[in-house]
Homo-oligomer: A and B are copies of this chain.
């Protein structure tokens, strides 16, 4: 899956009528019930309080006020104006979903002002601009505040979210049942993880750590929830001290005896492993209390993506802001149990996909299979597998020209029928108790054109170049990105997205801190046990899209020499789904690539074949055997 693919729910819909909502919001902006002095502008960011990529319905405040439901965008409402900033992916969609009370600010175009510049250009002198400090990151607050101050205005924190005050039928914050994960899935108890974390804290002389990312909390406590669609996380905060564990979560969730036992709430094994539970909302006051009791030189970690509200509770002299937390790093390097579990999840996922493709071959000639029906069928087949929990992201199921829309998601208005004449791309994945999957295959059910095969083969060569790359320990993922593009570049082609992202273990399908991208960021070096996707593509606008995606595990590589004893790494594919041979122009493959394809298919046949046999899925097994014939 691509980050770009987050929920485009429609391309054709009527705009939301916002006259009355804007009137109410502007009243709230002057209402002394919420603010001591009127504010002249109110900023509505699109995130939640936990820097989540996907958000719960109760947090879709920007969509509520303007109608635009893309994954990225910030709304600002002043006394006279209402404007929404979003990027090129969403220009069309936003213009269709918003009524004419809203101005669309097209980010990335030269003439579009930044939020700061726009505010400064239209605000009356000495204005106050409000924002909910819980849903703006500390560094964003700082930048905005600085820009406003230097123009004579000020940024103020409005504690009551003003959208919530006018949102009558706002969904309740979710509080789904918690799932406890045993050692069989996690390899380490939460007590082990807390102890290891404290080791890292001691190394850096840190006495407290405020955990705000939902997947870090879920991973640390070996708990999962379903508060956010596709992401098995639950709303919580944690504050970990050298001898304290404070967990902030809706107390109803802790009534479950399984959870009580898992967390040893009644009978902790050791005093320093006693979890103190607090209501979710009390994190602010409790953090204040912890900070008030800090000794002069004590330091507290918090992530630079944490909310302004929480970050500012920590006095500057005690605050150590970090780009990646030690939990983010620990979570990224999977332990042997997690690796085994991820492998199992990928085997089950491959079984479902083999069945899907065998079914498609039979059904497509009937002319009744659509993008949506394939997505539904894929979900049904996955759900038959043991420990299935749900999808890991919305399925991208796209025929012909729809395949060229990288973040496409089929909707009734756009739904196309699969045929023998067009390329079909499916990017999908699931959550199982034992792991998270994410796989893309591009196939043709008739006869692909020479050009389609040529492009597919370049993408395959890029996929193999990354998958088979050998590189020294300490190499950062972005140094591998060009390997995925070299074959496309040679022919003047390219794709405008990154090549890979970290993948969680029954957690978020996109996770940090590593990735493979031409964009260089402060990524951490790849190390054995990390799991990332390898997904180059090629997109011909109006015609077709190609992407070949496997989830791959970083493993030690055996090399002939070992310069400075650094050791080397390579990748092992966890995804074991055949790559359609019909789409390959084998003349374009080197011997090494040729062998890679045959080795990969041999492994698919052996591993998935055995499981299909075990599950008695005969038709899918026949399909697998046919699709994994060696190429000569």
Contacts and interface: CB of A to CB of B under 8 A. Distances in A.
A491 B590 contact: no
Interface stretch (A58-66, A263-271, A297-305, A466-474): A466-474
Copies in the complex: 2
Interface string A54-92: 000000000000000000000000000000000000000
Interface string A117-153: 0000000000000000000000000000000000000
Contacts of A492: 470, 472, 559-563, 568
A562 B490 CA distance: 10
A447 to B, nearest CB: 22
Contact of A483 (B472, B478, B482): B482
A520 interface: yes
Contacts of A483: 482, 486
A483 B483 CA distance: 8
A492 B482 CA distance: 20
B471 A489 contact: yes
Contacts of A490: 470, 559
Contacts of A349: none
A572 interface: no
A493 interface: yes
A568 B489 CA distance: 8
Contacts of A482: 471, 479-480, 482-483
Contacts of A564: 494
A490 B560 CA distance: 8
A614 interface: no
A574 B221 CA distance: 61
A479 to B, nearest CB: 5
Given A493-B563, A518-B479, A486 B472 contact: no
Interface string A440-479: 0000000000000000000000000000011110000011
A494 to B, nearest CB: 5
Interface residues of A, number: 29
Given A479-B518, A482-B482, A494 B563 contact: yes
Contacts of A511: none
Contact of A491 (B478, B479, B485, B560): B560
Contacts of A480: 482
Given A471-B489, A561-B491, A563-B493, A520 B590 contact: no
A484 to B, nearest CB: 11
A483 B479 CA distance: 9
A366 interface: no
Contacts of A485: 471
A481 interface: yes
Given A479-B481, A479-B518, A480-B482, A493 B590 contact: no
A566 interface: yes
A606 to B, nearest CB: 26
Given A479-B481, A483-B482, A486-B469, A561 B493 contact: yes
A481 B492 CA distance: 19
A494 B590 contact: no
A568 B492 CA distance: 6
Nearest to A566: B494
A475 B478 CA distance: 14
Nearest to A496: B564
A327 to B, nearest CB: 24
A472 B491 contact: no
A491 B559 contact: yes
A560 B487 CA distance: 12
Contacts of A563: 492-494
Nearest to A480: B482
18 contacts: A469-B489, A470-B489, A472-B489, A472-B494, A479-B482, A479-B518, A482-B483, A483-B486, A489-B568, A490-B559, A492-B559, A492-B561, A492-B563, A492-B568, A493-B561, A493-B563, A494-B563, A494-B566
Interface of A: 469-472, 478-483, 485-486, 489-494, 518, 520, 559-564, 566, 568, 590
